[in-house]
Structure 1
Amino acid sequence: MVRTLRTSRASRALRTSCAARPEYDSAPTGGRKSARRRTGTAVGTVLALIAASAAWVVGAAPSADALPNGLALTPPMGWNSWNKFGCNITEQKVESVADYLVSSGLAASGYAYVDIDDCWMAGSRDAAGRLVPDPVKFPDGISGTAAYVHAKGLKLGIYESAGTKTCAGYPGSLGHEQTDANSFASWGVDLLKYDNCNDDGTSAQRRDTTMRDALANNSSGRAILFSLCEWGVDNVWTWGAGVGNMWRTTGDINDSYGSLLSIFHANVKLAQYAGPGGWNDPDMLEVGNGGMSFTEDRSEFSLWAEMAAPLITGNDLPNSSAATASILGNRDVVAVDQDALGKQGVQVSAAGGLDVLAKPLAGGDVSVALFNENSGAATISTTASAVGLPASSSGYSLDNLWSHVKTTTSGAISATVPGHGTVLFRVSTGSATSTGTTHALVGASSGRCLDAYDNETTPGTKIEIWDCNGGANQKVTLTAAGELRLYGGTQCLDATGAATTAGTKVELWNCNGGTNQQWRPNADGTVTGVQSGLCLDVTGGDQPAGNVNGTQLELWNCNGGANQQWRLS
């Protein structure tokens, strides 16, 4: 249900939805069990590793004009049913998402809300004028579903519209605000997403204010986060902070790069209106729904975090791929979004579609996003002073929040960014480098570690991916010469036979200083062979079945796929 945005009040009743159309992605893959090593699913591996990353700072104070309900001190995080399932939502699906949020580690990363969108209710109210949950879709009612979600330590969200009907044609809340607010509170609802379909011609601000007051005065006194879904009309950002905890700043998102770009352009200009207790909402994330490339999905997540947007994912979470999990579960990027200072990133420059955004963080660091709107790779540059950092005689540390590679600069902040890609740095004063340090090297498409086969040290040993287990055969040391050494530095990653063609196998070999043993970690998360210029690639990892334990690594033409993306752990 994709609506057409109109500007007149009379036309608003014709809009069909505040949500985006459903899209579909593939089922995840996992490796076979093996007697020789401990195993685990790809998604479980990547999220367990992500959970070991640094946590973020919380505890922001609300801004002076924020809605005084004490909620949304950082941008809300969670899941919404619409983008993937539309009207095909059930109690079982909601509960399976709650299960996954906990088991995957996403709940521990901050994803707290499980939001039911349109189509959850019966077609008419009961004799007392109350909303009735669809007894087929929700046999335990919303209260039963809420109890299940709460037992997982999570929060439940619900949907309604500030009109006579919802966008899908179910009973709306116009004229029933207090009755509905009382129902939501009695059911244990924690968030209300309030749409704008089928209105009576009065302003959205007036109708939303009526529901705001009803929520504040609900019969149980329950605090309910209020999410305004006004599609960016009526300059909602200028009055939203006094009415809701978040407000849509744009039309509906869809699962395409064009939609991402349009929404980014609209939302990035509104930084002055966001802060603790009230946030600009550029709509739900489409990450993992299949309409965008891995690079584009990662850009969306990076930009939403940089803009301090609510991180409400809209994919089929229980069937997420490891690549999708590597995006949604990146705690370092989440930390940017959830930073206690509560600042939305501002656009420092945007010449030629090469965008630089800077977001000040609590403690003095700055998050810098370099976003390439164009289709071809480009170098994007700025400086520490331009993004608001003080002068530093010891230089600045650039922590790449996707590859986790750290470098030091005297003040220039620059990276080659792939088309439609985003490089996200956390910049701080002082020096730091990953050279000489030892880490596991984790593949985004699998959540598995680069691994020397079966702990063998013989030259020619196969280099593969395997469940991360902390073994010496998975500990990679980056050297100043560009080598990737294993086993404490005695043996190197080597392009077999010094070949430079796509498909060349990567193996273990005695370190000899050859250019076929030199590697370059790139800002986009790829690792290229210095001699060949080709990317370190999980063979067949661009296909769902290609990321199992034991899959060989090879050189391949760089293409931006998740099976060519790596991060230090």
Structure 2
Amino acid sequence: MNKQCFLTVVLFFSFLVNILSVSAGNPASEKIFEGKPVINAPQITGNYPSTPFIFYIPTSGQRPMEWSVDKLPKGLKLNPETGIISGTIASKGDYTVTLKAKNALGTCEQKMIIRIGDELLLTPPMGWNSWNTFGRHLTEELVLQTADAMIANGMRDLGYSFINIDDFWQLPERGSDGHLQIDKTKFPRGIKYVADYLHERGFKLGIYSDAADKTCGGVCGSYGYEEVDAKDFASWGVDLLKYDYCNAPAGRVEAMNRYAKMGKALRATDRSIVFSICEWGQREPWKWAKEVGGHLWRVSGDIGDVWNREANQMGGLRGILNILEINAPLNEYAGPAGWNDPDMLVVGIGGKSMSIGSESEGCTQEQYKSHFGLWCMMASPLLCGNDVRNMNDSTLQILLDKDLIAINQDMLGKQAERSIRADYYDVWVKPLADGRKAVACFNRTNSPQVVELNTQTVEDLSLNQVYSLDTRTTVDTTKGIIVKLAPYQCKIYICGEAKKK
């Protein structure tokens, strides 16, 4: 047995052990690994020319699974036993491939576009970030365990691909050689080891720095060393940089200059590195972030694990409802390769956080469900902040909702527009690539509400065929739709008939 075959066998048996241990007692996870194959979103992905490409084909269904790809472009290869496509494509262009998955119960085919050019992040990023639960208490072990858990609980098979290390991975002072110093008590084998571990499993690695001498946590930032740090990130195998703006000048021009320096430095590396601009919306980054190389930009201050709180209250953390209001009018600025970022998901944290726990009491299950649904409608990044190694089934059911994720990952890349803001409820509309519309009815209050959904409620709304994500059934629309909403509930419908391909 050669080394590659041995590694594949080891990974497969490790995967089976993880499924049995992590999904035990979690029906949501168990369902991901049942039935015929289903290849999930995204249906388009982007990469720069002549830079490493990696993509795991997210596939639900019974294991073992075998994958194949038709018309895979020159320079790429597929591991049929792991479902990971890797390699390098030199020439720009759109390459339409057919992904195939096969298990003992059947087969599935899905077309996907691999776009090689000047754009990344053609759908919103999905994954996990260390900050909201763990803060400064991140370690190499935590990151590796998180990756293993996201494989075992089915998250990877629904498109969660980024695993992002936030603040406190580095030491307070830059080394005498001018390079950032990795905190070896937390990452004894270095960042490259972590990146290699993630890449072998089809994940991508995100890392954190700041456009000043010091980060928000007071460790070493990247100001004045943009090229040095970008080259180091690339050499370690980093795929995303979250770039904060603590301890930096307040002016917009200075912020743009600092972000442009890092954006240029990242683009000059030999990797396709996503650039996440984190200046909290104070300088309206939605108007300039793409110009300086950004692929997503925060629209507000930090989110708290709380439903409703203005920023002037304890800790400056905003509630879910408050950030929703900030992001609502910004839909025109979002689209493929450039996304409004209303901050990470707090689903499932439940007030148990090492970094924001003292300021966030947690939310109800209904509020977490609405949080996830609205972020999907707004084409927001879906970056979980909870401990994915230890989730109850209720949290998993939210995070593994393939219908909502498909709305978020829709190729058209439209952020939902709030078409109605009544006294007590909202109606949001998101056009989809197949000609249908996703419509969300959201109760902002703590008392039940009723919304009538018809062509007067939403202009040009087709009720010929309506699918309810609440009941997972087709709705009888002969008399319109009367939507009954519990307190803080959000119900989402797919309206219309899909265009024939």
TM-score, normalised by the number of residues in structure 1 = 0.65
Q: In the alignment, which of 293, 309, 317 is matched to residue 388 of structure 2? A: 317
Aligned length: 386
Q: In the alignment, which of 257, 263, 268 is matched to residue 206 of structure 1? A: 257
Conserved 8 A contact 2:249-2:255: no
Provide the rounded CA distance (Å) in 2 between the counterparts of 1:412 and 1:266.
31
Structure-2 residue corresponding to 1:381:
452
Q: In the alignment, which of 431, 434, 448 is matched to residue 360 of structure 1? A: 431
Q: In the alignment, which of 473, 479, 501 is matched to residue 405 of structure 1? A: 473
Instruction: Give the Å deviation of 1:242.
Output: 2.1
Provide the rounded CA distance (Å) in 2 between the counterparts of 1:197 and 1:411.
54
Q: In the alignment, which of 373, 378, 397 is matched to residue 326 of structure 1? A: 397
Provide the rounded CA distance (Å) in 1 between the counterparts of 2:305 and 2:407.
24
Instruction: Give the Å deviation of 1:102.
Output: 1.3
Structure-2 residue corresponding to 1:249:
299
Most deviating of 48-57 and 336-345: 48-57
1:119-130 → structure 2 map (5 Å cutoff): 119-130=168-179
In structure 2, relative to structure 1, the CA distance for the partners of 1:122 and 1:306 (3 Å cut) is: same
Provide the rounded CA distance (Å) in 1 between the counterparts of 2:42 and 2:208.
30
Structure-2 residue corresponding to 1:102:
151
Structure-2 residue corresponding to 1:164:
213
Structure-1 residue corresponding to 2:29:
44
1:119-518 → structure 2 map (5 Å cutoff): 119-201=168-250, 203-218=254-269, 221-243=270-292, 244-258=294-308, 259-290=319-350, 291-384=362-455, 386-389=457-460, 395-410=463-478, 412-429=480-497
Q: Does 1:87 align with 2:158?
A: no
1:34-54 Cα shifts (integer Å, max 9, x gaps) = xxxxx8644532443699778
Conserved 8 A contact 1:306-1:345: yes
2:155 aligned counterpart, secondary structure? coil
In structure 2, relative to structure 1, the CA distance for the partners of 1:79 and 1:71 (3 Å cut) is: same
Conserved 8 A contact 1:190-1:225: yes
1:503-523 Cα shifts (integer Å, max 9, x gaps) = xxxxxxxxxxxxxxxxxxxxx
In structure 2, relative to structure 1, the CA distance for the partners of 1:297 and 1:409 (3 Å cut) is: same
Structure-1 residue corresponding to 2:91:
none
In structure 2, relative to structure 1, the CA distance for the partners of 1:54 and 1:414 (3 Å cut) is: farther
Provide the rounded CA distance (Å) in 2 between the counterparts of 1:279 and 1:424.
22
Provide the rounded CA distance (Å) in 2 between the counterparts of 1:267 and 1:409.
31
Provide the rounded CA distance (Å) in 2 between the counterparts of 1:272 and 1:86.
33
One-letter amino acid matched to 1:238 = K
Which structure is larger by alpha-carbon Rg, 1 or 2?
1
In structure 2, relative to structure 1, the CA distance for the partners of 1:135 and 1:54 (3 Å cut) is: closer
Structure-1 residue corresponding to 2:162:
113
Provide the rounded CA distance (Å) in 2 between the counterparts of 1:216 and 1:414.
50
In structure 2, relative to structure 1, the CA distance for the partners of 1:190 and 1:41 (3 Å cut) is: same
In structure 2, relative to structure 1, the CA distance for the partners of 1:423 and 1:215 (3 Å cut) is: same
Provide the rounded CA distance (Å) in 2 between the counterparts of 1:101 and 1:360.
30
Instruction: Give the Å deviation of 1:87.
Output: 0.3
Provide the rounded CA distance (Å) in 2 between the counterparts of 1:91 and 1:360.
41
Most deviating of 399-408 and 269-278: 399-408
Give the % identical residues.
39
Conserved 8 A contact 2:300-2:343: yes
1:486-539 Cα shifts (integer Å, max 9, x gaps) = xxxxxxxxxxxxxxxxxxxxxxxxxxxxxxxxxxxxxxxxxxxxxxxxxxxxxx
In structure 2, relative to structure 1, the CA distance for the partners of 1:286 and 1:177 (3 Å cut) is: same
Provide the rounded CA distance (Å) in 1 between the counterparts of 2:46 and 2:482.
34
Structure-2 residue corresponding to 1:22:
none
Conserved 8 A contact 1:78-1:311: yes
Provide the rounded CA distance (Å) in 1 between the counterparts of 2:168 and 2:416.
35
Conserved 8 A contact 2:373-2:404: yes
2:233 aligned counterpart, secondary structure? helix
Provide the rounded CA distance (Å) in 2 between the counterparts of 1:57 and 1:132.
36
| Structure 2 residues without counterparts, runs of 5 or longer | 1-18, 48-115, 309-318, 351-361
Structure-2 residue corresponding to 1:492:
none
Conserved 8 A contact 2:45-2:120: no
In structure 2, relative to structure 1, the CA distance for the partners of 1:411 and 1:383 (3 Å cut) is: farther
| Structure 1 residues without counterparts, runs of 5 or longer | 1-29, 33-38, 431-569
Provide the rounded CA distance (Å) in 2 between the counterparts of 1:384 and 1:55.
31
Conserved 8 A contact 1:366-1:387: no
Conserved 8 A contact 2:170-2:183: yes
Instruction: Give the Å deviation of 1:338.
Output: 0.3
One-letter amino acid matched to 1:272 = E
One-letter amino acid matched to 2:343 = D
Provide the rounded CA distance (Å) in 2 between the counterparts of 1:106 and 1:405.
24
